[in-house]
Amino acid sequence: MKTENVHIFNLNGEDEFVQIQNKLKSKIDLCNIDESKIRICAGVDIAYWEDAGETFGACSIVVLDYNTTEVLEKVFSSGKIEVPYVAGFLAFRELPLIIEAAEKLSLEPDVFLFDGNGYLHYNHMGIATHSSFFLNKPTIGIAKSYLKINRVEFKMPANEVGAYTDIVIDGEIYGRALRTQKNVKPIFLSCGNYIDLESSYRIAMNLINNKSKLPIPVRLADLETHILRERFKEETAAQ
């Protein structure tokens, strides 16, 4: 799969991070999509580990048939993480691995679901949103924990499958607290880019089964990254 060369990653700290986020934020397009045309979807996740005082990561992308959820392709990338963790700028840390993995894909997903936030972010530039500009595809953010912005708490949705409450901050809807399984904590859904919230909701719910509260592509990518992390840690220890 071909990716777009949107910006470099050899940057000089938070001021340049903010400049890039603001430039890209002006190009976010939360538009309607034709869900009937979705044939292939993908889940994206990254796992980290430490070795000799350095941080490493592995990115997994798992591609599925949207209607049958059959796994069609799996790719990964791994390497040293060059950008330190700074709250609000996770994409600059993770995107090099995501791009490397995406470029290994022989299939071209119609939509990508990320283990992380999208529009539900301090500057509307979570990993799902930021990645969309490189992937040039609709993206959706699926977070397991809530990112509190401007001290706004979320309202717990009803204890029913598919129940949700919108997360409204300063009069704007940033995302949804979504109950995908009864008696299980909600996930936090947000648009990435090139898609609207209603379509993101329907796609996420269409990819839920009784094995996890996460949509299937995200769950499988999460499982793959854990396998990869243990594999690389063992290989490093054996050297």
The model's pLDDT over 139-197, given as tens digits with 9 standing for 90+, comes to 999 999 999 999 999 999 999 999 999 999 999 999 999 999 999 999 999 999 999 99
Residue bearing the bigger pLDDT, 232 or 128: 128
Q: Are 193 and 129 in contact (CB under 8 A)?
A: yes
Q: Which residues are CB-neighbours of 113 under 8 A, at least 6 positions away? A: 41, 42, 43, 44, 128, 139, 140, 142, 203, 204, 207, 215, 217, 218
Q: Which domains does the chain have, with CATH numbers?
A: 28-238 (3.30.2170.10)
What is the enclosing helix (H) or strand (E) of 218? helix 216-238
- pLDDT of residue 12 exceeding 90: no
Count of C-beta atoms within a 10 Å radius of residue 29: 11
Name residue, tokens 């979807």. 41
* Predicted local distance difference test score (pLDDT) of residue 235: 76
Q: Collapse the DSSP code of 111 into the 3-class scheme (helix H, G, I; strand E, B; otherwise coil) and give the result.
A: strand
* Least confident window among 44-48, 53-57, 68-72: 53-57
Rounded mean pLDDT of 96-108?
A: 98
Strands of the sheet with 164-169, listed across from one edge: 71-80, 54-65, 40-51, 111-115, 139-143, 187-193, 172-178, 164-169
* Predicted local distance difference test score (pLDDT) of residue 236: 67
Name residue, tokens 């204890």. 159
Question: First and final CA of the chain: distance in angstroms?
Answer: 33
Q: Are 75 and 105 in contact (CB under 8 A)?
A: yes
